[in-house]
Amino acid sequence: MKLQQVYLAAVVLAVMASTLADEEAKKKLWERLDHLDPDHDGLVTQEELKNFAFRERNRDLWEDADEQWDSMEVPPGEKLTFQQLKEKFYTDEFPEDEGPFGRTVQQDHTRFNASDQNQDGALDKEEFLAFLWAEEYPHMHDLITLETIEDLDRNGDGAVSYNEYRGEDEGTAHGGDFQEDPEFQEFDKDADGKLSHAEVKEWVLGPTLDMIKEDEEKVKDVLSKLDKDEDGKLTRSEIEADPEVIDTLRYDDDDDGFIHDEF
């Protein structure tokens, strides 16, 4: 009898302790998941989940984001103009026909304009990141495709022939048959011997598009598991019902994880 009571008390204490630890872990989890809900309205939307997954996948880039922006020395509250960017990019070291990213000043201006989503003639930090990491921003994908075609398309027909693909001058190439190049054929879907805009896009951005698709699938999966009332948004209690589900949006499992190390 006595022993049973002791046992019972121990069980009760253990349950209480684990509940408290659970509460504490949840609280920390939510604090550290702050960047899930950057507008702090207490709801995590599909868009916010997507951005979260995107940032997780590109954590290395994001660690660098502030530094990149700071390097442009834009005064607080102001935006980056092309003139300012040009002064930073094109120095004695980098002439205007080959800037720090191997693009011409003209190409950088076109890219700058494409990054300027609200078309006010200057870039805020987010727009500047789209300028730098255009691959990661679907609204920049046509621009990247055009840049690639521009770089390779020597005869100006708007497509990339097999010779151009191989980086050889038209006419001086030692032949080479695209039909014997399985890698080229993989991208030349209509087998006409040259890569069209859509084919170049798939060639250059295929792997990135796959990862973006993968993010979208994961976000859908997270919503299907956590969004109990199916309004497309997650409340705090919906996330807390199974906090580890959010973890599936993470890419690596290195030790600075914000969930595993709490449990």
* Pairing of β 44-45 and β 80-81: unpaired
Closer to ligand NAG by CB, 36 or 122: give it.
122
Q: Which of 227, 247, 257, 258 binds Ca ion (CB under 5 A)?
A: 227
Closer to ligand NAG by CB, 110 or 185: give it.
110
Maximum pairwise Cα distance, the chain: 98
Question: What sign results for the dihedral spanned by CA atoms 107, 108, 113, 115?
Answer: positive
110 near ligand NAG (CB under 6 A)? yes
For 213, list phi and psi in degrees, rounded to 5. Answer: -60, -40
Q: Which of 23, 24, 34, 41 binds Ca ion (CB under 5 A)?
A: 41
Q: Tell me the C-alpha distance between 263 and 94, whole Å.
A: 50
Query: To which H or E segment does residue 35 belong?
Result: none
Pick the piece of the chain touching ligand NAG (CB under 6 A) from 55-63, 103-111, 197-205, 245-253.
Answer: 103-111
From the number of C-beta atoms within 10 Å of its C-beta (0-12, 13-18, 19+), residue 140 rates as buried
233 near Ca ion (CB under 5 A)? yes
Query: Of Ca ion, ligand NAG, none, which one sits near residue 109, judging by CB under 5 to 8 A according to partner kind?
Result: ligand NAG
Closer to ligand NAG by CB, 95 or 121: give it.
121
Pick the piece of the chain touching Ca ion (CB under 5 A) from 19-27, 167-175, 219-227, 244-252.
Answer: 219-227
Binding residues for ligand NAG, rule CB under 6 A, total 5
**Nearest approach, Cβ of 122 to ligand NAG (angstroms)?**
9
**Nearest approach, Cβ of 108 to ligand NAG (angstroms)?**
8
Q: What is the DSSP string of 144-161?
A: HHHHHHHHH-TT-SSSEE
Per DSSP, 134 falls in state: G
Q: Tell me the C-alpha distance between 80 and 122, whole Å.
A: 5
113 near ligand NAG (CB under 6 A)? yes
Q: Is residue 121 within 8 Å of residue 81, measured between CB atoms?
A: yes
**Nearest approach, Cβ of 124 to ligand NAG (angstroms)?**
15
Q: Which residues form the interface with ligand NAG (CB under 6 A)?
A: 106, 109-110, 113, 121
